[in-house]
Structure 1
């Protein structure tokens, strides 16, 4: 019985690096990595969204949501807030859960 435990232990030790390596490279060749964004909740308070835009644009570059910018159109608070939320999500690593939600949908498209 003691030998079977030793055998199982050795097999586990031998297979662990293989299983770990498979997990690291299980993405198929050419498969895109899923990227997540922080965007405005559909029912978020517009004043709260505007306040977040003001905050984010006070500490980061919001030129894409300014007139003529790549993400200006549509010129809606919710769309601009989605850009601002994601900007902070990318730069600071957090999504404001009071007004934002994590999604795979790019807020600038």
Structure 2
């Protein structure tokens, strides 16, 4: 008889925690974070191929910071976006930042937080590669 009381107590505790979590994610940024976590988990479960690119609305100063940060990481090779590289053209901040950010995203583990870049990154499922410029998945 005693063992039957414990499962119901556990279920009540689990339900209380679930309701508490549901109330918490209904507010602002917490909901946005839970949506990103769900997308990340769904992609890992389904084996979806994803890339990280810069949001088109990002200003050049932030794009340049993203390039400097990403290219400054030991595991990121930004030679393709330098003059003469396969991804130099088009020669603009959005293209170069997208390429560098994707390399960082890939090398860091492809988690949604690896593409955040202070809100300037965007995870996409359509291959952004163009011509000879190949974005590794």
Shorter-chain TM-score: what band?
Answer: 0.5 to 0.7
Which one has a larger percent helix, Structure 1 or Structure 2? Answer: 2
> Counterpart in 2 of 1:95?
115
Q: Helix, strand or coil: the match of 1:80?
A: helix
Query: Out of 41, 50, 55, which is 1:36 matched to?
Result: 50
Q: Per-residue deviation at 1:58?
A: 1.2
Larger Rg: 1
TM-score (norm 2): 0.52
Q: Counterparts of 1:53-72 in structure 2 under 5 Å?
A: 53-59=67-73, 60-72=76-88
Please, which runs of 5 or more residues in structure 2 have no aligned partner? 1-46, 131-137
Q: Is the 8 A contact 1:85 1:96 kept in 2?
A: no
Query: What is the CA RMSD across the aligned residues, in angstroms?
Result: 1.8
Q: Which runs of 4+ in 1 moved over 3 A?
A: none
1:79 aligns with 2:95: yes
Q: Is the 8 A contact 1:64 1:71 kept in 2?
A: yes
1:107 aligns with 2:128: yes
Query: Could you tell me how far apart the structure 1 residues matched to 2:104 and 2:115 are?
Result: 7
The alignment covers a number of residue pairs equal to 78
> Counterpart in 1 of 2:61?
47
TM-score (norm 1): 0.64
The higher relative CO (CA closer than 8 Å, separation ≥ 6) is in 1
